[in-house]
Amino acid sequence: MLEGRETLRVACLGAGYFARFHYEAWRKLPRVRLVGACDRDLEKARATGLSSFDELDTMLKMATPDLLDIITPPPTHLVAIKAAIEYGVRAVICQKPFCNSLEEAKHATELAEAAGVVLVVHENFRFQPWYRTLKQAIDERLIGDLHQVTFRLRTGDGQGPGAYLDRQPYFQTMPQLLIHETGVHWIDTFRYLIGEPEAVYADLRKMNPVIAGEDAGYFILDYPGGVRALFDGNRLLDHSAENCRTTLGEALVEGTRGTLSLAGDGSVRLRHFGTQEDKVLLAPRQWEGFGGDCVKNLICHVVDGLLDGKPLENEARDYLKVIAIEQAIYQSDRLGQKIREFVSA
C-alpha cells in the first residue's frame, strides 16, 4: 500500500499540550513531510508553522496526507477516523485513551479494516528505552524464570486544589482518571513484557477531594504458573527522581536468578540472586522528548512499518484487549472481586 515510497505525507489533528511532542518527533524523521496541522483553535495550529486549518475535512481535502495523526481527546476519535477513511487516508495513528468505549473502539477498528486503512493506537510507553531493555533481559532469561513485575506510579502532581491545572486541567473532571488516563499505559506495558493475563483484581480510591475520578489504587494481573504483575499507583506521592515525569515511577522485575530494577532516572540495573552488587544495563542520561523520546520511537516504528513493510505493534485490533482489561479493572473494583473473563475484544 505505502511500501516503496520514499516519503510519507503526514497531517496532524490537534495542537494542544501533548501535541508538541508529536510535531517535534515528526520533524526529526527524514522520510516524513508534514503537510498540515488542524485545531479548533486556529492560532494553536498556526503556532506549529505548518499549513493550518480549523476544520479537519478541509485539511484532509487540501493537504491530501497519507497518514493522519490524531492527537485529540477520545470524543473526537471516531469522527476523525471516519473522515480520514472518507478522504482516502491510508494510515491513522490515534492517541490513547482510544475512543470513548470498547464498543466505539471496535466500530472504528472495523471501519478501518474494511477500508484497508492501517490504524495504530499511540500507546507509547512500551517504546520507552527502559521497557525495551527490560523486555530484552526477560527474553534472554537474565533473571531466570519470571515471578513478578511491580510498577509503583508516583507522579507527585496530584495534591491540593491546584492539582493538574498547570498542564492538563481536564484531569480534574475526568470521571475515571488513574486507570483510564494513566494506568492504561501499564496494562499495555505488562502485556508487552509478559503477555496476556488470565485474571485481574483491583482496589481503587480517590484521595484528593477536588477531582472527580480515582487517583490512587492497585491492580494485579494474573498469569500462568503463579506469575503476577502489580500496578501500585498514587498520583499524590512522588519518587526519587530529578524529574518525576521521566519514568513516572519505579519498577522491579523479579525472577529465580535475579532482579531487574528501573529507577526514576531511566536507568535499568541487574542484580543476580544472592548478591548485593548490580550491573547497569541501561545508563541514565538526558533523554530527549517525552519519556525517553518514546513518541518519536513509536512514530519511527510506524513509518518503518508503512514504508518498509515491517510488523507493526499496537494495531487497533490488538489494542482492543487493553480496553477490555481496563473495563475489567473497573468492574473488579466495583464488585470487590477478581475478574477472570474479560469482555471479548
Statement to judge: residues 257 and 280 lie in one domain: yes
pLDDT of amino acid 341 = 87
Number of domains in the chain: 2
Centre a 10 Å sphere on the Cβ of residue 161 and count the other Cβ atoms it contains. Answer: 10
Any alpha helices (H) in the chain, and if so which ranges? Answer: 19-28, 42-46, 56-63, 77-86, 102-115, 129-139, 184-193, 294-308, 316-335
What pLDDT shows up at residue 287? 87
What residue type is assigned to position 302 of the chain? V
181: its cell numbers: 488516563
Q: Count of alpha carbons within 13 Å of 189, Cβ hemisphere only?
A: 26
Same domain, 145 and 278: yes
**Is residue 174 in some structural domain?**
yes
What is the rounded CA–CA span in Å between residue 235 and residue 185? 14
Q: Give yes or no: residues 145 and 285 share one domain.
A: yes
Report in angstroms the alpha-carbon separations of 94 from 26, 57, 112, 187.
15, 17, 12, 17
Note the pLDDT of residue 3. Answer: 81
DSSP 216-274: EEEEEEE-GGG-EEEEEEETT---S-SSTTTTSEEEEEEETTEEEEE-TTS-EEEEETT
Same-domain status, 99 and 135: no
Same domain (yes/no): 22, 80 = yes
Note down pLDDT in tens along the chain; length 345 residues. 688 788 999 999 999 989 999 999 999 999 999 999 999 999 999 999 999 999 999 999 999 999 999 999 999 999 999 999 999 999 999 999 999 999 999 999 999 999 999 999 999 999 999 999 999 999 999 999 999 999 999 999 999 999 999 988 989 999 999 999 999 999 999 999 999 999 999 999 999 999 999 999 999 999 999 999 999 999 999 999 999 999 999 999 999 999 999 999 999 999 999 999 999 999 999 888 899 999 999 999 999 999 999 999 999 999 999 999 999 999 999 999 999 988 655
pLDDT for position 1? 63
Is residue 341, in this structure, part of any structural domain at all? no
Contacts of 284 (CB under 8 A, 6+ apart): 263, 265, 266, 267
Q: Are residues 268 and 308 in the same domain?
A: no
pLDDT at 176: 95
The whole domain housing 19 covers 8-124+295-314
Same domain, residue pair 16 and 149: no
Helix and strand totals (H; E) in the chain: 9, 14
CATH number, domain containing residue 300:
3.40.50.720
The reported pLDDT for the residue numbered 343 is 62
Does this model's pTM top 0.85?
yes
Does 138 map to a domain?
yes
* 253 touches 260 (CB < 8 A): yes
A 10 A CB-CB count for 316 gives: 24
Which CATH number does the domain housing residue 216 bear?
A: 3.30.360.10
Residues 257 and 165 placed together within one structural domain of the fold: yes
